Amino acid sequence: MNYLKDKRIILTLDAGGTNFVFSAMQSGKELFKPINKQIKGLKLEQILTVIIDGFGQLQQLAEQKAVAISFSFPGPADYKNGIIGDLANIPEFRGGVALKAMLENHFKLPVFINNDGDLFTLGESVAGILPEINALLKKNGNPKQFKNLFGITLGTGFGGGIAINQQMFLGDNSAGVEISRIRNKLYPQTNSEDSVSIRGIKRVYAREANLDMNITPEPETIYKIGIGHMAGNQNAAKKAFEEMAMVAGDSLANSVTLIDGLVVIGGGLSGAHPLFLQALVDEMNSKLTTFSHQQISRTELLVCNLETENGLKKFITSSSGKIKVPFSRDLQDYDPVKKIGVGISKLGTSQATSIGAYVYALNHLT
């Protein structure tokens, strides 16, 4: 299927913890500027009304009738049946909310709901970092091509997704790739999301700057303090992103050990990558010490920072050489270095998620 030539319209939504972004997609592109709606402070019925109104506005603006609704929503959820469970970041959802059935009853269209991290990763595998990196490798004469992508989103929560051959990995219980539940390296009694999130950044800054949480600035301001563009406690700001990088890097090292693929980062906190990405990559490349006091690499992979000139050069440069075939004069190419890269979304989280939702719907329509 060439989704870039498909003229069917799909209505999409990127549902964050406080902000909902509605888009209408056709031929892999947004038909018009996305519609943003805030849900902070709203009750459940009000949030559901926002969702209905948002999709209704999209349909009114579109020149032709949509063929489906496909969008992301946080979990836990029974995504196949479109039932949203008890959400940590949108606590108004409790006891199971039949969102798919509600929307199908209202709009008389097929509705597909998936995890935001999954759809973000699918979008990046189809139209984002994966084809971009594969094209760059080919351009530079490197025969290596990637088909596996691990995506994470950093923001209100810590989300994840896996795409293999442009297909989402979903799991058997709508509970796949819940990276937020990996044990926190620095605080083993809790999960990784307590450090890899907006609240994690604010908590550490408040602790290091000796501030009350009520007057602690938002991560965007903390980042500007950290890079010296605003007044504040610069050491506290750097420490906040350093802790996030260590915990995220440890979680990703666990993940890529199982997946062995590229990593793409999105979400609101990804814009602060100059302050944390190299530390995250360094954590993934760190060492373990065995009981026999031998040091081994954290993973079998060399992890490269795709956002730095040196890191990108190291990644795209082939380390392949010729080896002899035993009992023969023949030679065979062999690359002893297993490399992956970590990069920031070039599409933007909302756009990547919309493309993922669009492609998923087209693949599942009869």
pLDDT digits (tens, 9 = 90+) for 27-38: 988 899 999 999
Residue spans per domain, the chain: 3-114, 129-346
Alpha-carbon distance of 116 to 120, in angstroms, equals: 6
The answer to whether 79 and 170 have CB atoms below 8 angstroms apart is yes
Are 162 and 177 contacting, i.e. CB atoms less than 8 angstroms apart? yes
What phi, psi does 202 have (nearest 5°)? -65, -40
- pLDDT number for residue 366: 66
Q: Which residues pair with 23 in a beta bridge?
A: 12
- Determine contact, residues 74/361, Cβ cutoff 8 Å: no
Which listed CATH number (3.40.1350.10, 2.40.50.180, 3.30.420.40, 3.30.390.10) goes with 129-346?
3.30.420.40
Predicted local confidence at residue 359, as pLDDT:
94
Residue 10: what pLDDT?
Answer: 96
Q: CATH: 3.30.420.40, 3.30.1370.100, 3.80.10.10, 3.40.50.300. Which one for 3-114?
A: 3.30.420.40
User: What kind and span of H or E run contains 300?
Assistant: none
pTM score > 0.85 for this model? yes
Closest Cα to residue 244, out of 305, 364, 157, 326?
157
pLDDT by residue, tens only, the chain of 366 residues: 688 889 999 999 988 778 898 999 999 888 999 999 999 999 999 999 999 999 999 999 998 999 999 999 888 899 999 999 999 879 999 999 999 999 999 999 999 999 989 999 999 999 999 999 999 999 999 999 999 999 999 998 899 999 999 999 988 888 889 999 999 999 999 999 999 999 999 999 999 999 999 999 999 999 999 999 999 999 999 999 999 999 999 999 999 999 999 999 999 999 999 999 999 999 999 999 999 999 999 999 999 999 999 999 999 999 899 999 999 999 999 999 999 999 999 899 988 988 999 999 999 996
pLDDT in tens, 313-337: 999 999 899 999 999 999 999 999 9
Residues 212, 206: contact at Cβ < 8 Å? yes
